[in-house]
Amino acid sequence: MLLYALKRLVYVLPVAFGVSIVCFMLVHLAPGDPLTAIMPIDATAQQQAEMRAAYGFDKPLPVQYGLWLWKIFHGDLGSSIASGRPVASEVGRAVGNSLILASLATLIGFGFGAFFGFVAGYFRGSTLDRLASLVSILGVSVPHYWLGMVMVIVFSALLGWLPSTGAGPGGSTAWRPDWEHLRYIILPAITMSAIPMGIISRTVRALVADILSQEFVQALRAKGMGEWDVFKHVVRNAAPTALAVMGLQLGYLLGGSILIETVFAWPGTGFLLNTAIFQRDLPLLQGAILVLALFFVGLNLIVDVLQTTLDPRIQRG
Amino acid sequence: MNSTLPPIVEARDLTVDFAAGRGMIRAVRGVDLSLKPAETLALLGESGSGKSVTLRALMRLHPKSAKIGGTIQVDDADVLALAPSALRAYRGKTVSMIFQDPSLAFDPVYRIGDQIAETVMRHEGASRAEGRKRALELFERVRIPSPERRLDNFPHEMSGGMRQRAMIALALACRPKVLLADEPTTALDATVQIQVLLLLRELQREFGLAIVFVTHDIGVAVEIADRIAVMYAGCIVESGTCRDVIRNPSHPYTRGLLSSRAHGTLGKDERLKAIPGSPPDLSAPPPGCAFGPRCEHFIDSCAADIPPNVPVDSLHSARCFRIGSSPPPHPRRARHGSNA
């Protein structure tokens, strides 16, 4: 098991290498000079050249890449052009916030999604199935920023139950597990959970329907197992795939929730990416994308190892 | 045979209807079965003849939408009247089942040993360790090599023959009185088939099992069964001892089946004899005898009424109007029958 995990870890290296090249090239593929945005319009050619030399943009690309990689290995992602703060700490805080939000949203989504999926799969074709399917289709197809706005209008503006934006009282950007902070996470988490809920519900429904039609379920009944025992077998069979889907959803939510984080001004990676794009803050953008991509790779690794542990048919070789 | 013992399985006028579209399809149309302890009955028939449906009805394994009619008595239990909890206690304990394809009948993500232990725990309130111990004994009994190690195998880690042995071990886990076998050798290759058949016969003697064995393979039926019941379009058209049915087939369908086998070498240009036509659509079965439209001895009265069960010998009967008036069985078949 451990050996398999290590082996998979080795396979991750080339992927991570590719990711780093793509991230590095982002800066150079974007139109315009990375420095144009922050240089005063009336800067002389000499000043521009000095600036380029200072940031290392005058060296050949492979050398630049080497230097960039070297710095990354030392935890230095450069500094934000807009704020001047180190990218590593900005991204680190944002990832922390996003991770909390995305994990909570995935948990909620997985809980409800799995429940609806099981109900729909068990009572295929019934009214319950149609109802559960409706909820899950709404979950994946309703625009989430719209859902977010509706939530804000209803629960913040009209009812005044929960705060509408931010991660904590007084514009706090460091989330802590207390009730004051918890109130801030409820609305974005529920809004965000609609996506994984819908997808997991559809997946689980299909899985359950497939498993229940397999002969071993009849064989279980034939040896006297009750519905509860059969249910346990169904869960155990559905778990590997359902967990894999859940892991990937968590990955998407970590980086792919720009709209929701923006609507709720949640200081996470999505919000950070949005800000970086609008401010043409390339080092920040580069660093954020790199960290997110590596996170996704790491998550895939975890899902892979977990799935192999749960499903004996997947070769560990 | 144990002709004095009361039957352990007794089904009377068994019918099974499935919901199909707007109407119902009657897949089993009035089957009578009787089986004594330690006796093996082969239900012989082609695909769609209702043999597996009959078998599963004995355990009420059909979906809830299916309607089972008639009566089924197994070991003094009125199967069709069993409450859900009594039904669960009956399944796997009094009657157990071997499935056609063991690679589909085991849960793929549980270890085989645990799946057997689960049954023992369910029916005997045993601990997991006791269940595993029983599984080990059974693995030794069905001659699975290195049984201890094999208990920890997942189904996909075993060969087909070994999986079917494991399936038999599972079926015997709680010492059932009746074993239902649904084409247990069909998914296996020929050499493994015979090993499994021999094992089943041996275990049957040892445990005094009554076996209902569903097959479409006459050779297999002859190998394992004391009695054969030939099914066609949801009815038993002929039943009798193995010897009677093979030597003296009295229903035209049975005769057709027997003559459609290849004996020894078939000449290059020689065609295998086949029964003309195809089995009836059960949603609209032909009137009277279901085999009528394909029968070479068809007379008008065949379409008028369903033929009664006419005794041929003391234990041999067939559902045909022409018994007694039909020509004697083909001498060639009789000779081959004696080999069986």
Instruction: Give the DSSP letter of residue A172.
Output: -
Domain locations in chain A?
Answer: 95-264
B118 and chain A in contact, CB less than 8 A: yes
d(CA B279, CA B281): 7
Average pLDDT, chain B: 83
Whole-angstrom distance, CA of residue A183 vs CA of residue A166? 10
Residue-wise pLDDT for B91-109, tens only, equals 988 999 998 888 888 999 8
Q: What's the complex ipTM? A: 0.82
The answer to whether the CB of B209 falls within 8 A of the CB of B220 is no
Please answer yes or no on whether B108 and A224 come within 8 Å at the CB atom.
no
Q: What is the predicted pLDDT for the residue at B328?
A: 47
* Interface touch A313/B154, C-beta < 8 Å: yes
Taking an 8 Å cut-off on Cβ atoms, the answer to whether A222 and B170 are in contact is no
Domain contains B87: yes
- Cβ-Cβ pairs closer than 8 A, A with B, add up to 72
**A56 band by pLDDT with thresholds 50, 70 and 90:** confident
In terms of Cβ atoms closer than 10 Å to its own Cβ (0-12, 13-18, 19+), residue B14 is buried
Contact B95, B58 (CB under 8 A): yes
The reply to whether residue B105 touches residue A215, judged by beta carbons under 8 angstroms, is yes
Tell whether B91 lies on the interface with A, counting CB pairs under 8 A: yes
Comparing A248 with A112, the larger pLDDT belongs to: A112
Task: Residue B187: give its domain's CATH number.
Answer: 3.40.50.300
What average pLDDT does the segment A123-144 reach? Answer: 85
* Minimal Cβ distance to A224: which of B89, B101, B110: B89
Helix (H) or strand (E) segment spanning residue B179? strand B178-182
Ranked by mean pLDDT, the top range of A24-28, A66-70, B42-46 is B42-46
Please spell the DSSP secondary structure of B185-246, one letter per residue: TTTS-HHHHHHHHHHHHHHHHHHT-EEEEEES-HHHHHHH-SEEEEEETTEEEEEEEHHHHH
CATH architecture of the domain with residue range A95-264: Orthogonal Bundle (1.10)
B61 CA: distance to closest CA in chain A (Å):
7
**Under an 8 A CB cutoff, do A223 and B110 touch?**
no
- Tally the domains of chain B: 1
What's the pLDDT at A52?
74
Distance in angstroms (rounded) separating the CA atoms of residues A20 and A18: 5
Task: State the residue range of the domain holding B20.
Answer: 9-94+176-231
HSE (CB half, 13 Å, CA atoms) of B275? 21
Check A237 against B109: CB less than 8 A apart: yes
Q: Which range has the top average pLDDT, A84-98, A252-266, B165-179, B238-252?
A: B165-179
Decide if B184 contacts A219 (C-beta within 8 A).
no
d(C-alpha A136, C-alpha A199), whole Å:
7
pLDDT for residue B332 is more than 50 = no
**Greatest Cα-to-Cα distance within chain A, rounded to the nearest angstrom:** 87
DSSP state of B288: S
Kindly indicate the confidence band of residue B136, based on its pLDDT and cuts at 50, 70 and 90: very high
* Interface check B106 vs A, CB under 8 A: yes
What is residue B330's predicted lDDT score, i.e. its pLDDT? 47
- What is the torsional sign of CA B267, B273, B278, B280? negative
Tokens read off for A75:
């935890």
Cα(A273)–Cα(A275) distance, integer angstroms = 5
pLDDT value of position A70: 85
Tokens of B225: 């069964």
Question: Could you tell me the two tokens for A112?
Answer: 């409800």
- The predicted pLDDT at position B314 comes to 79
Q: How confident is the model at residue B336 (pLDDT cuts 50, 70, 90)?
A: very low
DSSP track, B247-275: HS--SHHHHHHHHTS--S---TTPPPP--
Residue B107 lies in a domain: no
pLDDT of the residue at B324: 63
| Chain A: residue whose CA lies nearest to B102 | A216
Spatial contact of B256 and B232, defined as CB atoms under 8 Å apart: no
pLDDT of residue A295: 82
Chain A residues near residue B89 by CB distance under 8 angstroms:
224
Q: Quick: pLDDT tens for B318-331.
A: 888 877 654 544 44
On whether the CB atoms of residues B116 and A232 are closer than 8 A, the answer is: no
Which of the 8 DSSP states describes residue B78? E
Give the model confidence (pLDDT) of A170-225 as tens digits: 666 666 677 777 777 888 888 888 888 888 998 999 999 899 888 899 899 988 88
Tokens for A1? 């098991």
- pLDDT at position B272, please? 74
pLDDT tier at A317, thresholds 50, 70, 90: very low
Residue B294 within any structural domain of the chain: no
Pair B121, B128: CB distance under 8 Å: yes
Tell me the CB-side half-sphere exposure of residue B314, using CA atoms within 13 A. 1
Q: Bigger pLDDT: A163 or B39?
A: B39
Q: What pLDDT sits at residue A82?
A: 72
- Token pair of A306, please? 């977990």
Out of A18-22, A44-48, A75-79, A277-281, the most confident range is: A18-22
β B23-35/B9-20 pair status: antiparallel
What is the reported pLDDT for A35?
66
Per-residue b/e over A159-179, b at no fewer than 16 CB within 10 Å?
eeebbbebbbeeeeeebeeee
Chain A interface with B: residues with Cβ < 8 Å? 214-216, 218-226, 229, 233, 236-237, 240, 310-313
pLDDT tens across B44-97, in order?
888 888 888 999 999 998 888 888 888 898 888 888 888 888 888 899 889 999
Mean pLDDT value of segment A131-139: 85
Half-sphere exposure at residue A126, Cβ-oriented, CA atoms within 13 angstroms: 11
Segment B169-213, tens digit of pLDDT: 999 888 899 999 998 888 888 888 888 888 888 888 888 899 999
pLDDT of residue B217: 86
Confirm or reject contact between B59 and chain A (CB < 8 A).
yes
Substitution target in A223, A232, A307 with the highest count of B β-carbons within 10 Å is A223
Determine the average pLDDT of the residues in B275-304: 79
Query: What's the pTM value of the predicted model, to 2 decimals?
Result: 0.77
- The pLDDT assigned to B335 comes to 40
Q: How many CA atoms lie within 13 A of B152 on its CB side?
A: 3
Cβ <8 Å between A216 and B59:
no
Residue partners of A244: CB distance under 8 A and separation at least 6? A303, A306, A307
Minimum mean pLDDT among A41-50, A118-127, B87-96, B235-244: which range?
Answer: A41-50
